[in-house]
Structure 1
């Protein structure tokens, strides 16, 4: 199966377990993999035969900006579900959502959630 990779989608959002995360917000980074058949679009050069990834990027950014969940796991799953609902062509989606600056004392790494959903 063919795959489209969308990486480094950044958006400011208000998901987090701590009250200040839902008030002050923070940056999130999202990577998406879309599995679908690209054979037609590879021959026709027509956007109708693929997924317009501009709409996927917009969906991800809007989801991060407007959602207020306690858990990033819920936000990640919600994005994956929304992508599958948006496009019938996508048979499987992988969403990796990262908090590059999680508010955890003495922790300078990032937290990432990786969810794969199939149709």
Structure 2
């Protein structure tokens, strides 16, 4: 199994259930990881036999720009786009961390993690 991913991709976005969150926004960190089997050799030094993490970055960036109330919706949209672009992928994991969520006490981050397994 080959894994390709991005960790700690930073965004300022406007996701949140409450109207104030959608107005003021906050910082988010996104991790995305994909896994797949590949029997082709890497000796040709080509992106044809792997997942281009630049494409992963573009997908995550585009989906983070669409304001949504629930982070699970954002993660699900990212996963669906990855599946559509790379139909050979066996596993996907998307983690979104909302920095300093609006609670009455100190909380570093809230976390949502979605996983996909083809099998």
TM-score by length of 2: 0.89
Offset of 1:109 from its aligned partner? 2.0
Unaligned runs of 5+ in 1: none
CA contact (8 A) 1:27 1:100 kept: yes
* Cα-to-partner distance string for 1:27-49 (whole Å, 9 max, x where unaligned): 11110110112442533211111
Bigger share in helix: 1
* Residues 1:93 and 2:83 are matched in the alignment: no
| Total equivalences in the alignment | 118
Give SS of 1:42's match.
Answer: coil
* Residues 1:9 and 2:6 are matched in the alignment: no
Cα distance in 2 for residues equivalent to 1:92 and 1:108: 30
Distance 1:103 1:73, change over 3 A: same
Offset of 1:107 from its aligned partner? 2.4
- Between stretches 35-44 and 79-88, larger displacement belongs to 35-44
Give SS of 1:43's match.
Answer: coil
Cα distance in 2 for residues equivalent to 1:46 and 1:77: 29
Aligned residue in 2 for 1:36? 36
Q: Which runs of 4+ in 1 moved over 6 A?
A: none
RMSD of aligned Cα (Å): 1.5
Cα distance in 2 for residues equivalent to 1:78 and 1:64: 9
Offset of 1:62 from its aligned partner? 1.5
